[in-house]
Amino acid sequence: MSVIILIVSAFLGGSIISYFAFMFLLKSKAKKIVGDAEQESEVIKKEKMLQAKEKFLQLKSEHEKLVNEKNSKAQQTETRLKQKEQEVRKEIEDFQRTKKDVEKMKEHVDAQVSTIERRTEELDRMQKQQIVQLEAISGLSAQEAKDQLIESLKAEAKTAAMSYVNEIMDEAKMTANKEAKKIVVQTIQRTATEHVVENSVSVFHIDNDEIKGRIIGREGRNIRALEAATGIEIIVDDTPEAIILSGFDPIRREIARLALHQLVTDGRIHPARIEEIVEKTKKQVEDEIIETGKRVTIDLGLHGLHPELIRMVGKMKYRSSYGQNLLQHSKETANLCAIMASELGLNTKLAKRAGLLHDIGKVAEEDTELPHAILGMKLAEKCKEKPEICNAIGAHHDEIEMETLIAPIVQVCDAISGARPGARREVVESYIKRLKDLETLALNHQGVLKTYAIQAGRELRVIVGSDKVTDKDAETLSFDIAKKIQEEMTYPGQIKITVIRETRAVNYAK
C-alpha cells in the first residue's frame, strides 16, 4: 500500500526525496524476493539431491542383490556339475571293474568248456568200448538189441493203450445217462410242445373281459380266423383280463400277440380285418427281425455278414435255450470268444463272429434230424463263411473234429455262458442249495472225510481216509458217487468226481 501511495505522490509532483524513498523501498522489496527465491531453490536443490541419493542407493542395493543371486545359482550349478562328474567317474570305475570280472569269467568258462569237450571225447570212447564189450557178452549186435528193445516197448505201449481204452469205455458208460438226458433236453427245446408252458405260451392282457366275446365272434368265427391266419392256438378261458396264446413257434406267438393288440386297439374285429392285420404284422415282425440282426452285428463290430445270417441272428431274439434267451447267449459267447482270443493272440474278429453264429442251427427253418451244430455249419458254408468259422460252429458240441484254435475257444465260451450261475433257469439260492446237496451226497459215503464242490459245481473233490479206503476202493467210490449224483440230482453239463487219498507218515524227534 505504501508503494502505491509513493507512486501516486510522485506522479502528482512530489519531491525528489519522495522519489528516492520509493526507489529504495522498491529495491529492498526486490532483494527480499530474490533472497526468498534463492532460499527456496536451495531447499528444493537439497531435496532433489537427497532423492537422487536414495534412488541411487536403492538401485545399487537391487543390483547387488541380483548379482548375489546369480553368483549363488552359478555356485549351485558348479556344485551339481562336480557331483555329476564324480558319479560319472565312479560309474566308469565300476564299469572297468565289471569288465575285468567278465574277462576273468570268460577265461574260466573257456577253460571249463575245454575240460568238458575233453571229458566228452573220453566218454564217447568209453561208451564205444562198453558197446563192443556188451555185444561180445550178449552175442547180439547193437542193431539187434535196438530191435528187441523196440519190440518190447511196442508191447508195453499196446498194453497201456488197451488199459487207456478200457478206462475211456468205463467213463463213457458212467456218462451215458448224462449225455442221454442232454440229448433229450435239446430235442425238447427244438421241438417244444404245449406242455413246455414257459417256452410255448404267451399271455395277452386285456382291459376287461367284454373284449373276449368280441375276439371269439359270432359262433367263434373271429377266433377261428385268427387261429387259421397265425397258426397259434388261442385259449379264452376264465382267467381274468388275460388271453393265452399257445404254440411252439415263438415268432408265430409274437405275430398273434401284436395282431391281437392292433385289433383290440382298433376295435374292428372280423375275419377280413383279421387277415389284413395278420399280414401287416408278419411284415412288421420280419422287418424287426432283420433290424435286430443288423443292430447286433453293428454293436459287435462285425461286417460283411450274409443277409440270411443277419436274419437268423435277429430270429434268435425269439428263441430260448434251457430258458436262456438265445440272442443274449450268443452275444455273450461272442464277447467271451473275443476276450479269450485276444489273450491267446488270435484273430478276435473271427472268434467273435464264430461265437455269434455258433447256435444259428437252432433257428433254422428247414425240418431236419441233424444236430444244430452240424446244421449251423452247413448254413454258414452255404453263406460263404470262412472254413475256420464253419468248423468252430460244427465242432462246438464235438460232432466233428476241431481243426483250428478258434473251435475250442467257442466250445469253452459256450459252456461258460450257459453254465454260469443264474444263466439257465437257476437262481442264486437254488444254485447254492445244489452245491450243498452235492457235497452232502458225497459226504454220506463211508470213509469220506471232507467234500468240496468247486468250479461252480463242475467238479467235486472227495477226500478220504487212507486207513479206511484203499486205492482200489477209491475208484469204486468215485463210480458210486457219480452214479448216485446222476440218479438223485439235476444239473447242467457234467460233474467231475475226484477222490483224493493221501498217506502221511508222522514221527517226532525228541
Mean pLDDT by 10 residues, the chain (510 residues): 50 62 82 86 88 89 89 89 90 90 88 87 84 72 73 73 68 61 41 37 73 78 80 75 73 82 82 85 87 89 88 84 77 88 86 90 75 88 90 88 88 77 50 77 86 76 85 86 86 82 73
Q: Amino acid identity of 393?
A: I
Annotate 32-60 with b (16+ C-beta within 10 A) or e (fewer).
eeeeeeeeeeeeeeeeeeeeeeeeeeeee
Contact in structure between 179 and 199 (CB atoms under 8 Å): no
- Residue 226 CA, distance from chain mean position: 47
pLDDT confidence of residue 322: 64
pLDDT confidence of residue 496: 86
- Residue 243: strand, helix, or coil: strand
Q: Give residue-wise pLDDT tens across range 360-380.
A: 888 887 756 788 888 889 989
* Contact partners, residue 368, CB within 8 Å, separation at least 6: 375
pLDDT confidence of residue 41: 87
pLDDT confidence of residue 131: 76
pTM of the shown model = 0.44
Q: CA gyration radius for the chain?
A: 52
pLDDT confidence of residue 353: 92
Q: Give residue-wise pLDDT tens across range 408-438.
A: 889 888 887 776 554 454 444 566 677 778 8
pLDDT confidence of residue 502: 73
Cβ neighbours around 321 below 10 Å, total: 21
Four-residue CA torsion sign, 75, 81, 84, 90: negative
Phi and psi at residue 181, to the nearest 5°: -60, -40
pLDDT confidence of residue 88: 92
